[in-house]
Structure 1
């Protein structure tokens, strides 16, 4: 069984974390034991996602199981007065950025959804690699990590240990891809069929 840790923070995009949570939660659902144990981690709780959804994280940053897969979702931007929120705020949060750096060093795979890639970039994890993100954040990714090759046309980008996806729903496709990579295409296809999700392959 692999532990799948999903980072939560205020103004997170709901589907960014809920999509991968669902994929890994139901993958090979009849297996015993299940191949993945999925849990959420946050600096503090509760977390208030976009549109006011309240979420209680499973664990806090200083007390959680070791992640085998680390998922960094996205969501965020700027208020009309220029105040950053979501990932745009968290890139300047040393507690979160340093936690990502530490967990990534011991995880088997590190995944980002949407603007979660900005947090990976801030942590120095995308230096010299290819990556993608939400189409509205491509310039921000290039600015945060000038040595990263930004691939705007790709649904997800697999560089080995680090896999980034484009915006929001792309996190579901990336997660199904990772299920296929780890457990085989048949398991990924059955997971998508159970979810009744027409996934990209």
Structure 2
């Protein structure tokens, strides 16, 4: 059954999230972000005002992680393709199973690469909707293999920085513009194509780092806040969004397990409110570490 059929009673303002799993995915890379998003509320004092609705997509009715956790899928990949326009966020956890995905030739990729590429093409064909693609850990290697990181900035688990650089260079050679490289950064998480407003008081800005950590390459990263509720006070420019890479698709790559939690808290702040993100962090007894925004639409 379609995920749309299963969620017809969900409020219209609930943000729809598709978790894309595969054999050998990382259990913590799934559970951390899922816990964050499922705990977030649009209104802090209203427990019924859930901000996010999650759907699990997998190639089989159930899929097992590298640590032996078996998760029941809500939809298969065919249904996920059919309903792709429905989702506001697509999340790809990393894990040991990534190696099998990367072993397939780029000319004939296996899922979930075609699903990721279709989501990016959907944004490019319809830039009026704000969509997000998030990967955790080695999930960014899949994006590189899919050719979706060219001209953007990205990060991954620290053990895989060099491998990500090589994968991005290989993708550039295969692409239409071999000179269009990827800036691999040693950051907690990296946000491309965000809507943000730096604001007047940077001390109160939830996405500004007080001190930027050393990066793999010197970065001109812009660090800004992205509260959807605040940004909607001004008019967005679809034309400007369409001119960005991937049609303005917000693309976030993160480091290891805890970086995925940090990036998920960023999404709560960006699409619900900063207060909601802080409350989720408090409930989880978690200290939220910020990342960087490298490009965005000033509205």
Q: TM > 0.5 between the two?
A: yes
1:46 pairs with 50, 62, 79, which one?
A: 62
Match of 1:89 in 2: 100
Q: Which runs of 5+ in 2 are unaligned?
A: 1-13, 124-130, 170-180, 194-249, 291-299
Alignment of 1:34-183 (within 5 A): 34-64=50-80, 65=83, 66-76=86-96, 86-91=97-102, 92=104, 93-106=109-122, 108-146=131-169, 147-152=181-186, 154-160=187-193, 161-183=250-272
Q: When you count strand as a share of all residues, which structure comes out higher? A: 1
Could you say what the CA RMSD is over the residues aligned between the two structures, in angstroms?
Answer: 1.6
- Give the secondary-structure state (helix, strand or coil) at the position aligned to 2:257: coil
For residues 29 and 252 of structure 2, the distance between their equivalents in structure 1, rounded to whole angstroms, comes to 14
What is the SS of the residue equivalent to 1:59? coil
CA contact (8 A) 1:70 1:104 kept: no
Stretch of structure 1 that moved more, 156-165 or 46-55: 46-55
In the alignment, is the contact (CA less than 8 A) between 2:20 and 2:112 conserved in 1?
Answer: no
| Matches of 1:150 and 1:48, distance apart in 2 | 30
Provide the TM-score with structure 2 as the length reference. 0.61
Q: Does residue 36 of structure 2 align to residue 23 of structure 1?
A: yes
Between the aligned partners of 1:59 and 1:183, the Cα distance in structure 2 is 26
The alignment's TM-score, normalised by the length of structure 1, stands at 0.89
Equivalent of residue 7 in structure 1, options 13, 20, 41: 20
Rounded Cα–Cα distance in structure 2 between residues aligned with 1:134 and 1:164? 10
1:185 is aligned to 274
Pick the structure with greater CA Rg: 2
